[in-house]
Amino acid sequence: MRILSSIRCTFRATHFASFARSKFAPSSRPPATRTCSLFRLRELPVFSASYVQLAFFKNIPATTMGAGGSKNGEGEREKKKSTKKGEKETAAIATPAQQQAAEGAKESGAAADGVGYVECAVAKASEFGENEMKEVELEEKKVLVIHQNGAWSAMGAKCTHYGAPLIKGCLGNGRVRCPWHGACFNTTSGDIEDFPGLDSLPLFQVRVEGDDVIVKADKALLSNTRRTKQSVVASVEEDKRTFLIIGGGPASVVAAETLRQEGFKGRVILACRENVLPYDRIKLSKAPNLNADSILLRPAEFYSSHDIEVVLGKEATGVDKEGKKVKFSDGEEISYDKLLLATGSKPRSLPVPGFEGNVLLLRDPAQANAIATMAEGKRVVVIGTSFIGMEVAAYLCGKAASVSCIDIAAVPFERVLGTRIGKMLQGMLEEKGVEFHLNAGVKEIVVEDGKVTGVMLPSGETLSCEVVIAGVGVVPATEFLKDSGLPLSGRGEVVVDGNMCAEGDVYAAGDIARFPLPLIGDSASIGHWQLAHYHGRVAARNMGGREETYSSIPFFWTVLFGKSLRYCGHALSWDDIIFDGEPEEMKFSAFFVKDDKVLAVCSLNSDPVVSQAAELMFQGKMPSASQLRKNPKLSSHL
C-alpha cells in the first residue's frame, strides 16, 4: 500500500445500541428526526456507528438529505458552503454516503464484531485543482476522490459495467463518465445516470482538515465495486396496477428495475420471447462460444427479490390498445395498465436461393454457440461487413480454416465511419488472413446433398466453404404491431415522443423506438446497447408518473483483436472528417462535421476522447469544426 506523509488512520467498531441511546434518546433527538421513521432496536443487528447514523432518515425528502442529481434529472445537488478567506476549509460529510453505509450494513446483517469502517488521510488538498479527480488507496482498495465547485466527494473507482478505471475517464458537471463505454455516475450520490451497466457506485464520506483529505468508508462497501439501488417491495393492496414489459433486452431490465427504484408497488411483468433470462447480448458477436448463463444481466434471484415477474418463452402476437391487452403465441392474454414495448430487432435475411435454412444468423446464445462449434476448422464465408459480421470474422481468425467476407460496399463501414477508418479496419482483418470480396453481392448459396458447399457471386465466381454466416443488418421486431393502430414508421419502428411514449399508456424503447434526438434536430432509430438502457429508464420514469425527457448522447463501440473503436453522437452524413492523428497508424480521433457542427466523434487508442466528446455534447459545449481545426484537443474545452 502506498505510504503518504501525515496519514492518520483509525479503525473503530462501535456497538449500535449504545450509539442509538446516546444519539437518539428522546431528550437529545435532533429536530430533523421528527419526520423520520425509526426502527425498533431489537429488530436490527448490531452495527458500527459509522454506518448506522443515517439509517433513520429514510423518509426525509431528497432536498433535505442532499441527495445528488444532475442536469438530466437525478435530483437537486447538495448546496455547497463557501469558506471565508483565512478560515480552515472543512467539507461536510456527504449524507448520501452515510445513508449508503447504513443500507449496506442493514442488508448484510453483520454484527459489530469485525465490522466497521476505516478512516484515513489519503491525499493533500493542495494537490487538487478545481474540477479535478484523483485515484487514491484506502485499505489497499482504489477510491476516486473528486474536487469540484469547492466540494469534495469520494466514490468507487471502477465503472460498474466492465470495470474500467474511472480516473482515465472524463469529469463532467457533477458526474464522472467512463472512458470505455460512456457510463456516467453522479459525484454526489454515486448513482448511475447514463449507461451501459445496471449498478451504481458506492459513495464514501470525505472531509478536509487542514490540508488533509480524509476518507471514511464502511469496510463492506469499500470491498465492493458496485452498489444496487434500493427498491420498494410490491404491494397489490397499495397499488393494484399492472405494468407489462415486452422484451428481454437491457431496455426491459432497466425499466423493470427503475419502476421498483422509483417506488412503483404494483405488478411488474417482464415477458421474454427467449427461454433464457435477459443477457449481455453484445458479447455474443465478440465471443460466440459463451454460455448464456455466464452473461446474464441479473440472476434469477434478483428478479424474485425485487418482485419482478419474469415469463420466459412468451412471444407477443398482438396488442389491443383500447382493451389494454397483449396477446401471446400460447393464446394467453395479459391485461395491463401501462405497457412498454422493447422487443428489439431481428437479423435480416437475403432473398437469394439457398439462404433459408443453410445460413447461420446471430441473435441469441444458441445461434452464437452454433457458429462457434460449426465454424471450427471449416472454411467460412461471412456475408456482410457490419459490426456483427466483422466481429465474428475476427473471432474466427485462427479457429476456422479460412475466413472470407463479402459485401456490396467498396469499403467496410464506409457509410458509417468513412473511407479511411473503414480501410484501416479492413486492414486489421487482412493482416490476420481474412479475404475480402467487396463491391460484390450474393447470387446464391450453393447447396449439394443438403450441405453448403459455397457462395456464388454475381460474377459467377463461387467461394468454396462449409459454413456461411450472415450479418447484413437487422429489422425491428414489430410485426405483431401492424394491426395495433400504434404509430409506426415506414421501417416498422414505433414512433415515440421525448418521454418514450407512443400513445396513451403505451411506451417503446430500444431498437424498435424512433425517438426525437436533439443532437440532430430530428427523430432517429439507433440500435445501441447504451441507448437501450437509457430508453428503458426514461420510459419507466414516465410510466411511473415522473416526467423525464430523453437527453442522452448515443455511445457505441466495437472490438477487433482486443482493440476498441469508440463512437459517440450520430452522423448519417457529413461534409468533412477532421482527424487528430492518423487512422493508418492505428491512433486517432475523428470528428464528423456538417455545417461546422460536430455530429459524431470516433477514436482508436485515444481514450478518453470519445467520452470527453460525449460529455461536451451533453452539456451543449462541443466546439465547432472551426475551433477544432485550430485545437483538436477536447480536454482544453472541458
Give the helix/strand (H/E) hosting 18.
helix 16-24
For the chain, the domain total comes to 4
Instruction: Return the closest-CA partner of residue 395 out of 409, 375, 378, 412.
Output: 375
Choice among 33-42, 316-325, 555-564, 612-621 with the minimum mean pLDDT:
33-42
Q: DSSP characters for 478-547? A: -GGGTTS---B-TTSPEE--TTSEEETTEEE-GGGEEEEETTTTEEE----HHHHHHHHHHHHHHHTT--
Instruction: Return the closest-CA partner of residue 259 out of 251, 269, 268.
Output: 268
Q: Rounded CA gap, 343 and 328, in Å?
A: 13
pLDDT at 105: 53
513 domain residue, yes or no: yes
Position 62 pLDDT exceeds 90? no
**Would you call 233 exposed, middle or buried from its count of C-beta atoms within 10 A (0-12, 13-18, 19+)?**
exposed
pLDDT at 102: 61
Identify the domain containing residue 514 by its residue range.
242-346+476-543
Q: Hey, is 379 helix, strand or coil?
A: strand
Could you tell me the CATH number of the domain that includes residue 115? 2.102.10.10
Q: Rounded CA gap, 24 and 22, in Å?
A: 6
| Burial readout 484-512 (b: 16 or more C-beta within 10 A, e: otherwise) | bebbbeeebbbbbbbbbbbbeebbbbbbb
| Burial readout 314-323 (b: 16 or more C-beta within 10 A, e: otherwise) | bebeebebee
pLDDT at 66: 32
Could you tell me the CATH number of the domain that includes residue 370? 3.50.50.60
Q: Rounded CA gap, 334 and 527, in Å?
A: 28
Residue that wins the pLDDT comparison between 11 and 161? 161
Cell of 198: 445496471
Q: Quick one: three-class SS letters along 181-204?
A: CCCEEECCCCCEEECCCCCECCEE
Alpha-carbon 589 to chain mean position: 23
555 domain residue, yes or no: no
149 domain residue, yes or no: yes
Confidence band of 370 (pLDDT split at 50, 70, 90): very high
pLDDT digits (tens, 9 = 90+) for 203-245: 999 999 999 999 999 999 999 889 999 999 999 899 999 999 9
Instruction: Return the closest-CA partner of residue 291 out of 183, 224, 366, 186.
Output: 366
Could you tell me the CATH number of the domain that includes residue 604? 3.30.390.30
28 and 177 fall within a common domain? yes
From residue 584, alpha-carbon distances to 85, 422, 519 in Å are 54, 10, 29
584 and 626 fall within a common domain? yes
pLDDT at 2: 37
Cβ(548)–Cβ(541) under 8 Å?
A: yes
State which of 456, 472, 488 marks the end of a domain: 472
13 and 132 fall within a common domain? yes
pLDDT at 59: 33
Provide the greatest CA pair distance for the chain.
Answer: 93
State which of 195, 223, 251 marks the end of a domain: 223
Q: What is the mean pLDDT of the segment spanning 604-613?
A: 98
State which of 160, 190, 223 marks the end of a domain: 223
Cell of 409: 460496399
Cβ(440)–Cβ(403) under 8 Å?
A: no
413 and 493 fall within a common domain? no
171 and 54 fall within a common domain? yes
550 domain residue, yes or no: no
609 and 573 fall within a common domain? yes
The 563-569 sheet, strands edge to edge:
555-560, 563-569, 597-604, 587-594, 576-582
Q: Rounded CA gap, 183 and 186, in Å?
A: 10
Cis peptide before 476 (omega within 30 of 0): no
Q: Rounded CA gap, 107 and 109, in Å?
A: 6
Q: Hey, is 387 helix, strand or coil?
A: helix
133 and 39 fall within a common domain? yes
70 and 168 fall within a common domain? yes
pLDDT digits (tens, 9 = 90+) for 390-400: 999 999 999 99
**DSSP-derived secondary structure letter, 274:** S
87 and 65 fall within a common domain? yes
Position 77 pLDDT exceeds 80? no
260 domain residue, yes or no: yes
202 and 317 fall within a common domain? no
337 and 398 fall within a common domain? no
233 domain residue, yes or no: no
pLDDT at 11: 36
94 and 186 fall within a common domain? yes
Instruction: Return the closest-CA partner of residue 156 out of 108, 221, 65.
Output: 221
548 domain residue, yes or no: no
Question: Residue 301 half-sphere exposure, CB side, CA atoms within 13 Å?
Answer: 0
426 domain residue, yes or no: yes
Position 70 pLDDT exceeds 70? no
Question: Which residue do the cell numbers 506523509 mark?
Answer: 5
pLDDT at 22: 39
Position 90 pLDDT exceeds 80? no
Average pLDDT, the chain: 87
